[in-house]
Amino acid sequence: MLRPSAAVALALSYVSLSSNAVAEQAAPPPQPAAQRVVVVHTGDPGPKPTEWTAPDGERRTGRFTFGSYGRVMTAIDGHGRRGRDADLVAHGSRLDEDSYAELQLERHDSYQLPSEPSAATTKMVATLAVGEPLFHQSGKFDATLAVRNLYIEAKGWLLPGLALWAGSRMYRGDDAYLLNWWPLDNLNTVGGGVRLELPRSRTTIALHAGANRLDDPFQLQTARRALPGNQLGATDVLILDRPRTVESLRVEHIFGLGGGAGLKLVGYGELHQLPSGQRETAPGRYEDLPADSGFVVGAQVTGFTGERDTHLSVFFRHARGLPAYGGDLSVPYALRLDKTTKGATDSVAAITGNFESGPVAIQLAGYLRSFRAATKEEFDFAHLDEGIFVVRPHVYFGERAGVFVEASYQAQRRAALAADGKGLMGGSMTRAALVPFLSPAGRGSFRRPQLRAIFSFARRSDGARALYPTDDVYARRNVEQFFGLEAEWWFNSSYR
């Protein structure tokens, strides 16, 4: 997913103890648990909360809020075709990403008895996401929709600083904005969790457990069967049904360095389990799928100055087994003969940062990744090493307009012999983009909304062209041009 949590955090007037350095910098100091802050509104003034008093004297306030993240892009390439994401690597620059938007409704309530010093709160979040194709592109009166959040979080009910949640939730930490990527943690499950903000400290512990069952033959298979009792007709029955369960633990601590600066340390881990199952390969024939599992360990170090979103984050993540394939929404491939992911590994080192000073800002991001699928074959297209580095310097002309240049280099190598038999498949791409923009909300790398015109030029190597199938224009062209217009916004959109 595609939401810059750091920037969103800035849009909020209240942020809990966040793992995001920038957000931490912009947020007020953590509130003592005893004072239990009632969260009933966000950065936008919005409607006033409704207030009433229950018969037992409990004071209640409540408010609806609407938030959104979105980007809409239209672009053509140098040949008049529709502009298209040109990245080679799994997590490339977000500059040429497709359109996407989230519409988020939240209901916040606080409950405070006269005998209690502070209120307890609930938050109900529903997020509807819209992807391409948009109606004005396709002409089809239809939409690609997903409900990406549907949960309730209750805070301050059992212990001060303790939040409980349950439901369907995007559950994630800090992103690398330029790459539209969450290098450390990005889970999508139906489940629940607890988050404890330790009193009078800058330590947060979050524990979560959830499950998903992807609509894929690796986890799910239905088959037609006759109705019972000699009824007419047939129905679907579940043959393979093995949800993946995921547990995660995130511990973070912020060291204050004075003057709003700080250092955030994050330790992170996931456990993934998949039960055994049986899949029908032909009527009356079944194959066993053994249980599978995996884990993730990771860490993050973020330093921030407390001034204008300036920060630098470094991430390390190592996954083995199930989660090595890219997270909980990925379907494993190139398995072992026993149809498990045992031995698969995914190791990532990533960096992201932002520096702002006067009319200048520089964003950067990059990563190195090494993925090895579970198959024991030494040469398999699935094995890969890749990396990217992106830098985006900005110059503001006045407070509300500017231009940035984005330069990037990315490369990928696959463990498959190249067509000429000399070396492995793989290639690289270098890109430079010039992007004038209007920022009505003012200066800042994370101020939105923003309107942009994008002029991008990329050069891919011959080896990169070979990674595309025949007749894909990217297999035929070394030079790519991209001319686009884009709007990007966010407000009142946070999943913390």
Partner 1 sequence: MKKPFAWLALASTVAVSCLSASDGDKPEMHTNVADWRDEIIYQVLVDRFANGDAANDFNVRPGVPARYHGGDWAGLEAKLDYIEALGVTTLWISPIVKNVETDAGVDGYHGYWAQDLTRVNPHFGDLAALRRLVAACHARGLKVIVDIVTNHMGQLFYYDINGNGQPDVQLAESGDSVDGQGHLKPVKHLTEYDPDFDPRGVQGRTSLGESGQASVIFVYDPDANKLPAMPAIFQEARAYHRMGRVVDFEATVKRCASDTRKGCAECPGDACVDYYEQTELGDFPGGLKDVATELPEVREAMIDVYTRWVLETDIDGYRIDTLKHVEHGFWQAFAPAIRQRVRDAGKKNFLLFGESFDGNDARNGSYTRDGEMDSVFNFAHKFQVFDDIIKRHGPTNKFEDLWAGRASLYGATPQADGVGVAPSKLPINFLDNHDVPRFLYLEKDTQALTLALTLLMTEQGIPCVYYGTEQGFSGGNDPMNREDLWSAGYATDGALFAHVARLTRLRRGYPALTRGDQKVVYATPRTGDQDEDAGILAFQRALGDAGDEAALVVLNANAAHASHTQHQGATMKTDFAGGTALVDVLDPARPGYTVGGDGTLLVEVPAMGARLLIPASQVRDGL
Interface positions with partner 1 (CB under 8 A): 224-226, 230-235, 282-284
Residues counted in the chain: 496
Residue 414 has a CB neighbour count (10 Å cut-off) of 21
Residue 286 CB, nearest distance to partner 1 (Å)?
13
Question: Of 282 and 479, which CB lies nearer to partner 1 in the complex structure?
Answer: 282
Question: Of 142 and 236, which CB lies nearer to partner 1 in the complex structure?
Answer: 236
Q: Output phi, psi for 334, to 5 deg.
A: 45, 60
Cα separation, 153 vs 158, whole angstroms: 13
Nearest to 194 by CA among 182, 175, 212, 210: 210
Residue 279 CB, nearest distance to partner 1 (Å)?
15
Residue 289 CB, nearest distance to partner 1 (Å)?
21
Residue 215 CB, nearest distance to partner 1 (Å)?
21
Per DSSP, the chain holds a count of helices (H) and strands (E) of 5, 23
Question: Of 114 and 283, which CB lies nearer to partner 1 in the complex structure?
Answer: 283
Question: Of 232 and 479, which CB lies nearer to partner 1 in the complex structure?
Answer: 232
Question: Of 233 and 358, which CB lies nearer to partner 1 in the complex structure?
Answer: 233
Residue 219 CB, nearest distance to partner 1 (Å)?
23
Residue 231 CB, nearest distance to partner 1 (Å)?
6
In eight-state DSSP terms, residue 492 is S
Nearest to 280 by CA among 224, 221, 228, 333: 221
Q: Give 355-389 as a DSSP string.
A: EEETTEEEEEEEEEEEEE-S---SSEEEEEEEEEE
419: its two tokens? 């067509």
72: its two tokens? 């809409």
CA 372 vs CA 377, 386, 391: distances in Å:
10, 12, 28
DSSP, collapsed to helix, strand or coil, labels residue 466 as coil
Cα separation, 458 vs 54, whole angstroms: 63
**Is residue 25 within 8 Å of 309, Cβ to Cβ?**
yes
Instruction: Identify the residue whose tokens are 């007020």.
Output: 28
195: its two tokens? 């988050």
Question: Of 237 and 434, which CB lies nearer to partner 1 in the complex structure?
Answer: 237
Question: Of 200 and 224, which CB lies nearer to partner 1 in the complex structure?
Answer: 224
Question: Of 115 and 231, which CB lies nearer to partner 1 in the complex structure?
Answer: 231
Cα separation, 97 vs 177, whole angstroms: 12
Cα separation, 60 vs 121, whole angstroms: 10
Residue 225 CB, nearest distance to partner 1 (Å)?
5
Question: Of 201 and 281, which CB lies nearer to partner 1 in the complex structure?
Answer: 281
Question: Of 115 and 230, which CB lies nearer to partner 1 in the complex structure?
Answer: 230
**Is residue 324 within 8 Å of 294, Cβ to Cβ?**
yes
Residue 391 has a CB neighbour count (10 Å cut-off) of 17
Residue 280 CB, nearest distance to partner 1 (Å)?
9
Question: Of 80 and 284, which CB lies nearer to partner 1 in the complex structure?
Answer: 284
Residue 285 CB, nearest distance to partner 1 (Å)?
10
Burial readout 473-496 (b: 16 or more C-beta within 10 A, e: otherwise) = ebeebeebbbebebbbbbbbbbbb
Question: Of 82 and 224, which CB lies nearer to partner 1 in the complex structure?
Answer: 224
CA-only gyration radius of the chain, Å: 24
Cα separation, 347 vs 205, whole angstroms: 24
Residue 240 CB, nearest distance to partner 1 (Å)?
17
Residue 223 CB, nearest distance to partner 1 (Å)?
8
Residue 281 CB, nearest distance to partner 1 (Å)?
11
Give the list of residues 6+ apart from residue 94 with CB closer than 8 angstroms, or none. 2, 177, 178, 179, 180
